[in-house]
Amino acid sequence: MAGLVNKAKDLVADKIAHMEKPSADLTDVDLDDISRDSVRLKSDVLINNPYDHDLPILEITYRLRCGDREITSGTVGHNGSVAANSSTAIAVGSKVPYSFLVNLMRDIGADWDIDYDFDVGVKLKLPIIHSFTIPLHKKGTFKLPTLSDIF
């Protein structure tokens, strides 16, 4: 009897391990808006649902770092869902005050850009597993606005 139970466990574990899972992709971080007191950054998270039913999006967490410093972080609460057998793009935006960017001047250097690490976690509600987080990571650089861009 124990052998039959172990075979059943192995069969279920094998089926779950080879089952297609939801995936996500993170597009580049871009400057979305420039104001007199801050820069607004925007990135799109493209979530792919391979299942025959909608997947509710519980939340999206993000953290933007430059070197060893955290520029901004937060949570985007989302009540929507990813439609069955399709993809959905969710915009993730954050506001960075110029006062914080002034503290990063030594990281900016002569080329007037900032190297960044952007970590995003997309938390979905799956039927059997309950919540499932897809971790995303993106490295890149973005150019800072000049005074002529602001005024």
Instruction: Give me 117's structure tokens.
Output: 């690490």
CATH for 20-150, among 2.60.40.1820, 3.20.20.70, 3.40.47.10, 2.60.40.10?
A: 2.60.40.1820
Q: Of 14, 3, 6, 22, which Cα lies nearest the Cα of 122?
A: 22
Which amino acid, 63?
R
Q: Model's pTM, two decimal places? A: 0.70
Q: Of 96, 142, 97, which Cα lies nearest the Cα of 117?
A: 142
Q: For 34-85, write each residue's pLDDT tens digit.
A: 887 887 888 888 888 888 888 888 888 989 887 778 888 888 877 688 888 8
Find the DSSP H helices in the chain.
Answer: 2-17, 98-103, 105-108, 147-150
